[in-house]
Amino acid sequence: MGRTYHIIKYLCLLVWTAFVVFPFLWALSTSFKDANAVTSGARYLPWVEFEPSVQGWTSLFASGSQGINIVTPFLNSASVTLLASIVSLGLGTLAAYGLSRYSYKVGFVKNSDITFFFISQRIMPPIVLAIPFFLMLKEIQALDTIFGLVIVYVALLLPIAVWVMTDFFASIPKELDEMAMIDGCTPIGAFFRVVLPNSTAGLVVAGMFCLIFGWNDFFFAFILTFTETQLLPVAIVSLNSSVTPWWSLSAFALISVTPLALIAIVVERFMSRGSLAGAFR
Amino acid sequence: MLKPKHFFLLPALLTLAAIILFPLVFTVRVSFSSWDVYQAGLDFIGGRNYARLFEDTRFWESLLRLSGMSLITVTLQYVLGFALALAVWKKMRGGRIFRVLFLVPMMTTPVVMSVIWRTVFHESLGPANDLLSMVGIGPVPWLSSAAGAFISVVIVEVWQWTPFMFLLLLAGLVSLPREPYLAAAIDGASPARTFWQVTFPLMAPISIGAIIIRLIEASKIMDTVYVMTSGGPGTATETPSYYIYIRGLRDFQVGYSAALSLAYLVLMIITLTIIAKVLMRFLVGKET
Amino acid sequence: MKRISSTLTIAAMLTSTAMPAAVQAEADYSKYGIAKDIPGSCSYAAIDAKDYSGQTLNVITHAIPVIGEPTALHAEQFSELTGAEVNVVHVPFGDLFQRIMIPFQSGQNAYDVLFYASLWIGDFNRFLAPVPEAYTASSGMADVTDSFKGVATWNGQMIQYPMDGDRHYLKYRTDVFDNPEMQAKFKEATGRDLAVPTTWEEYNEVASVFSGFDWDGDGELNYGSAEVAKRDDLMFSAFISRAAPYAKHPDVGGGFFFDIETMEPLINTPGFVRGLELFVEAQQAFPPGGTNFGLGDEIFSFGGGQTLMSYSWDDAFIQAQQDGSRIRNAVGAAPLPGAKQVWNRETGEWDSFDEPNRAPYMTWGWSSAVSKESENQEMAFDFLCFFSNEANTFHDLQIGRFGVNPYRDSHFDSAFWQGLGWDADVADSYVTTLSEMEDSTNRVYDLRVPGVGQFMSSMANGVAEALAGQKSPQEALDGVADEWSDIVERIGADRLREAYANVVRLEDNEG
């Protein structure tokens, strides 16, 4: 474990870091190009290799014709993701607690089968359900609304919440709830007063996954909305014409990934404290 | 009066069932109809769609391709994720910056990043070939050859989801008990031996969980293919979900694509269950 | 934006001087970027007079910028002029069809106005509102060429609103073709004189000679041919362009893709196979990545000066002619190459032609329509009429990325293009090439029948397999023919024949 080992280790880490950040740097550079700078081959440094232009960025906030206004899609995305995540996290936490503390049996269906039912929802590729969901939302007049998307996203995110929280509760000693019940709490009271306050780490992880998978979904947002409720990924793809404006696409991409990238900092903080311990098993 | 155990489980179960039941039943029903671009209705044509499916080599080839693709990407993600987690596990200079950076790709939207990656792999205007030509390699037919397109998709998948493995495995490492390590240190075990005899077995359960989840998500691979290669060149990167998408939404053969979807779903559930059992036995040495 | 055809400006000035009183009252619309409002039933003044405040118009259109940007622009103007709220959604081409079709099939009134590819008329016609007479009789419509009116018509009724014109033609670099040094080089390599290709064999030959070296001296390698060859990206149209002269015999009517009598697919007949063989061969002259080029890549490649020749829609040509382009006025337009050997399916033999057989491909292009379910049909048609009013069209034609191309007789006016800074011979070659296609009697149209998406995606898949070397051209197209027969069986031969008759009528010049 000498110096060489450390040097090699840092070298490897730097190589991986370069790989991770490369597409972002490339997008940043591209977002300041114009058509001539793009078509003359790969160029990296503004001023040195090409004349920078800000049209990529200005087009994002211009209204109407000159570009697409990204503020509304941004707010839509945020609302749908947050609402669906909160609902999923709430329902999922309760279910996960139930599954980790009680045994259910209906016919041959046991706890593990119920858990599997939840998780198996993730196996279904979104396109399979696109048309049925469309017809269902049409019936309840929820097409092209935030409400409609939240319904669908709950089906998408609930399995994740159940998966993370089941593992998490399995790592919390049962003695904790039993003590509370000896003190006179009802089972439900014990859950809310004692178990839940000790579950911050699990909730953070589950919530984070809900946010990631909700924010990043594309196909449902794409098929179940018309003009009123556009979400961010859909708005970005609307720039994907036969003549792709690389510059605004890059600027748009950078803006849309920033909020979630900030989550990485929060997650890292929790992880360093070791408090994600039980969240994955 | 609702019993506590039902109070916990039922809301989620019923909500999910309510949302998912209609689409599922509907898909089953549609798979027995000839719903297509011209006639949108639930007629009954028996098992014709299923019969057609068995002769559809493009579908079976796409399944085979998916097996290869998910096996390669998930293995790479696991090995790289584990290696990275081990590298930044202990306290080190700059460790936190590395950790944050390594997490970022999984937070980004696959459709969006694939658009960026497509420009990176653009064969005459993108930086990938440009940088390679500086060291005398190239030009690599990234998206225009079968192998190149397959590799490009794998690279992007590895970029996007290695952080997921990294996160789960690092969280596992951080929470490992200290005692086994003290024992190994007293025995004077080499780092390699400590890893294989202490770390790896302790990490087995979390590894299985991470691999299964990744396999489930990888089997749906769609966004990357949709943006970067459209399944091409030829059919070189066409996965089942993309093929179902082509049949269902591009060609608008709704009935047939429903049959494809259900066949795919059943196959996936069976395969993943078997894989989960095998992994359990192999890594943990016990049956669950 | 101030340059506009002199004739039109004069015409507009004449009208305004004739009515001096009106000029006083006339509002100034120059803030909308147009040179001058041109009087007509949907002029700025006419639309300004309408009041649709409190009403909402939902529009679905293509992604930005092609068609998507002009849609957004005119939507914003329409909204300002009439007070209506106009919502526009932009969708990438590959998903536009299903985004329109799902609501149609489920009876959901999602969009009032639709911009889409005109070849989908076979699928959409049942869901579209016919264009009312007030609009078909308008001055703007009277000037639309016969072939684009034909494209908008279904069973004798106009149900699409023409707002774009499209065709495939050849584009090439005049600076290379006219360069004595390059001419000598070509002669040395082939023994022939360098000339604009008149057959696809010649096209491939020229392309391969000028591939892989730096013929424009900019330090980057140049290549022979940029073509749309990516499977899901309109490649089917490139293949039709290449196969048409070999498979479309001028003396044989009754269907190009199918025999209309029997609805037997003709896609694996020798003419199409020959076209595919030449497509496969052409790949050696593609730039790196050329086999995965979508339309956008083709536009960047030819329009950016990387390749010698290209063929497809107008976009690459207009891109090359944009203000500030490196190859401005170094390009020319010509009809698509033809064939000296043409398959005659009636006699089952190859017929030889001294003059190459040309079969201009009147490719699908953008069109627009109003949904039958729409509750705001009048406003919707007003919007389309405004979108395509003369002032707006002249504005849109000038901006390459908008993707609006000539479709009125008045657009085939060399002076207009020269007014944009084009050299006279460039403008002439462009205008002549385009207008001659209008006069051809051996034209090929798209397969405008229900399920065209299935037919074309099956064909593209077969062609892609041949291009990738997975199958021989004959094998690949035999596979396509089998799939086509299956599709015909599923959708129903009679239903398809009835729709296909609309296409054959246009091809056989009976429409």
Question: Does the structure show a pLDDT above 50 at C22?
Answer: no
Q: How far is residue B99 CA from its own chain's centroid?
A: 22
Domain segments of chain B: what residues? 31-284
Q: Which helix (H) or strand (E) holds B233?
A: none
Using the CB atoms, write b or e for B245-263: b if 16+ within 10 Å.
Answer: bbbbbbbbbbbbbbbbbbb
* Partners of residue A131 in chain B, C-beta under 8 Å: 30, 248, 254
Averaged pLDDT, C213-231: 90
For residue C18, name the pLDDT band (cuts at 50, 70, 90).
very low
3-state SS class at B112: helix
| Distance between CA atoms of residues C311 and C304, nearest Å | 15
Could you tell me which residue, A206 or C276, shows the higher pLDDT? C276
Residues A52 and A78 in one domain: no
Could you tell me which residue, A42 or A22, shows the higher pLDDT? A22
Residues A36 and A107 in one domain: no
Would you state the structure tokens that stand for residue B119, as one six-digit string? 């420009």
Task: Tell me if A144 sits within 8 A of A250, measured CB to CB.
Answer: no
Q: What is the pLDDT of residue A63?
A: 58
Residues A55 and A74 in one domain: no
Q: What is the pLDDT of residue C25?
A: 47
Residue with tokens 């337009």: C333
Averaged pLDDT, C392-403: 87
Question: Does the structure show a pLDDT above 60 at A5?
Answer: yes
Q: In terms of C-beta density within 10 A (0-12 exposed, 13-18 middle, 19 or more buried), how is residue A17 classed?
A: middle
Write out the DSSP string of C360-427: -EE---EEEEEBTT-S-HHHHHHHHHHHTSHHHHHHHHT-GGG-----BGGG--HHHHHTTT--HHHH
**Which of A55, A218, A241 should be substituted to probe chain C, the one whose Cβ sees the most C Cβ atoms within 10 Å?**
A241
Supply the CATH number for residue A191's domain.
Answer: 1.10.3720.10
Question: Quick check: bond before B139 cis, omega within 30?
Answer: yes
Q: What is the pLDDT of residue C13?
A: 39
ipTM: 0.87
Q: What is the pLDDT of residue C21?
A: 39
C240-254 pLDDT, tens digit each: 999 999 999 999 999
Averaged pLDDT, C78-102: 89
Q: What is the pLDDT of residue B284?
A: 62
* Partners of residue C495 in chain B, C-beta under 8 Å: 38
Residues A50 and A164 in one domain: no
Q: What is the pLDDT of residue A272?
A: 66
- Range of weakest confidence among A116-120, B263-267, C123-127: A116-120
Q: What is the pLDDT of residue A78?
A: 92
Q: How far is residue B132 CA from its own chain's centroid?
A: 28
Strands C85-91 and C56-62: parallel
* Partners of residue C292 in chain B, C-beta under 8 Å: 123, 143-144, 149, 229, 232-233
**Helix (DSSP H) and strand (DSSP E) numbers for chain B:** 13, 0
Residues A75 and A137 in one domain: yes
Report the range out of A217-221, B171-175, C93-97, C179-183 with the highest average pLDDT: C179-183
Q: Which helix (H) or strand (E) holds C173?
A: strand C169-173
Q: In terms of C-beta density within 10 A (0-12 exposed, 13-18 middle, 19 or more buried), how is residue C320 classed?
A: buried
Chain A residues with a Cβ under 8 Å from any Cβ in chain C: 36, 38-41, 63-65, 67-68, 131, 134-135, 138, 143-144, 222-223, 225-228, 230, 237-245
Residues A123 and A153 in one domain: yes
Would you state the structure tokens that stand for residue C498, as one six-digit string? 């009835």
- Range of weakest confidence among A78-82, A167-171, C426-430, C463-467: A167-171
Averaged pLDDT, B214-230: 86
Residues in chain B: 288
Would you state the structure tokens that stand for residue A60, as one six-digit string? 């994002």
CA angle (C21 as vertex; C16, C26 as ends), nearest 5: 65
CA angle (B56 as vertex; B52, B61 as ends), nearest 5: 155
| Distance between CA atoms of residues C357 and B124, nearest Å | 36
C93 touches chain A (CB under 8 A): yes
- Range of weakest confidence among A34-38, C256-260, C287-291: A34-38
Nearest to A244 among C90, C296, C324 (CB): C296
| Distance between CA atoms of residues B108 and B163, nearest Å | 11
Report the Cα–Cα distance between both ends of chain A, in Å, rounded. Answer: 31
* Partners of residue B258 in chain A, C-beta under 8 Å: 128
Would you state the structure tokens that stand for residue C367, as one six-digit string? 């069109």
Enumerate residues 16 to 75 of chain B having a beta carbon within 8 A of any beta carbon in chain A.
16, 19-20, 22-24, 26-27, 30
Enumerate residues 183 to 212 of chain B having a beta carbon within 8 A of any beta carbon in chain A.
191, 205-206, 209-210
B61 touches chain C (CB under 8 A): no
Domain made up of B31-284: CATH architecture: Orthogonal Bundle (1.10)
Q: What is the pLDDT of residue A72?
A: 85
For residue B283, name the pLDDT band (cuts at 50, 70, 90).
low
- Please report, as a single letter, which amino acid is at residue B59: F
Task: Tell which residue, A203, A204, A201, has the closest CA to residue A275.
Answer: A201
B15 touches chain A (CB under 8 A): yes
Nearest to A215 among B20, B109, B172 (CB): B109
Mark out the alpha helices in C230-310 (DSSP H runs). 235-247, 270-282, 295-303
Mean pLDDT, chain B, whole residue set: 87
Question: Does the structure show a pLDDT above 70 at A280?
Answer: no
B44 touches chain C (CB under 8 A): no
Residue-number span of the structural domain to which A11 is assigned: 3-59
* Partners of residue A274 in chain B, C-beta under 8 Å: 174-175
How far are the Cα atoms of A152, B250, C188 from residue A143, in angstroms, in the given order? 11, 21, 66
Averaged pLDDT, A190-207: 86
Q: Are A39 and C300 within 8 A, CB to CB?
A: yes
Q: What is the pLDDT of residue C289?
A: 84
Question: Does the structure show a pLDDT above 60 at C434?
Answer: yes
Could you tell me which residue, B37 or B101, shows the higher pLDDT? B101
Instruction: Give the rounded percent of residues in chain C with a pLDDT score beyond 70.
Output: 94
Averaged pLDDT, C486-502: 91
Question: Which one-letter DSSP state was computed for residue C28?
Answer: P
Q: Are C453 and B250 within 8 A, CB to CB?
A: yes
Report the range out of B194-208, C291-305, C438-452, C474-488 with the highest average pLDDT: C474-488
Question: Which one-letter DSSP state was computed for residue C199?
Answer: B
| Distance between CA atoms of residues A115 and B9, nearest Å | 11
- Range of weakest confidence among A44-53, A71-80, A214-223, B75-84: A44-53
Residues A102 and A152 in one domain: yes
Nearest to A23 among B116, B130, B205 (CB): B116
**Please, which contacts does A135-138 make with residues 24 or more away whose CB atoms are closer than 8 Å?**
A135/B26, A135/C106, A136/B22, A136/B23, A136/B26, A137/A224, A138/C106, A138/C108
Residues A119 and A215 in one domain: yes
Q: What is the dihedral of CA A128, A132, A133, A139, to 10 degrees?
A: 180
Residues A36 and A157 in one domain: no
* Partners of residue B70 in chain A, C-beta under 8 Å: none
C72 touches chain B (CB under 8 A): no
CA angle (C436 as vertex; C431, C437 as ends), nearest 5: 105
Averaged pLDDT, C25-35: 75
Give the number of other CB atoms < 10 A from CB of residue C99.
21
Nearest to C64 among A226, A230, A238 (CB): A238
Q: What is the dihedral of CA A194, A200, A201, A203, to 10 degrees?
A: 110
Question: Does the structure show a pLDDT above 70 at A62?
Answer: no
| Distance between CA atoms of residues C315 and A242, nearest Å | 10
- Range of weakest confidence among B157-166, B218-227, C129-138, C465-474: B218-227
Chain A residue with minimum CA distance to B164: A209
Question: Does the structure show a pLDDT above 80 at A243?
Answer: no
Residues A29 and A77 in one domain: no
Q: A with B: how many residue pairs have Cβ under 8 Å apart?
A: 245
| Distance between CA atoms of residues A278 and A275, nearest Å | 8
Q: How many domains does chain A have?
A: 2
- Range of weakest confidence among A96-100, A261-265, B82-86, B258-262: A261-265
Averaged pLDDT, C459-478: 93
Q: Sketch out chain C's domains with CATH numbers.
A: 6-162+365-431 (3.40.190.10), 169-360+442-507 (3.40.190.10)
Question: Does the structure show a pLDDT above 80 at C82?
Answer: yes
Chain B residue with minimum CA distance to C488: B38
Q: Are C101 and B233 within 8 A, CB to CB?
A: no
Residues A160 and A260 in one domain: yes
B176: left (phi over 0), alpha (psi -120 to 50) or beta: beta
Strands C153-154 and C157-158: antiparallel
B275 touches chain C (CB under 8 A): no
Q: In terms of C-beta density within 10 A (0-12 exposed, 13-18 middle, 19 or more buried), how is residue C251 classed?
A: exposed
Mean pLDDT, chain C, whole residue set: 89
Nearest to C102 among A41, A63, A131 (CB): A131
For residue C157, name the pLDDT band (cuts at 50, 70, 90).
very high
Q: How far is residue A184 CA from its own chain's centroid?
A: 40
Q: Are B124 and C467 within 8 A, CB to CB?
A: no
3-state SS class at B42: coil
Using the CB atoms, write b or e for B193-214: b if 16+ within 10 Å.
Answer: ebbeebbeebbbbbbbbbbbbb
Residues A48 and A109 in one domain: no
Q: Are B120 and A272 within 8 A, CB to CB?
A: no
3-state SS class at C168: coil
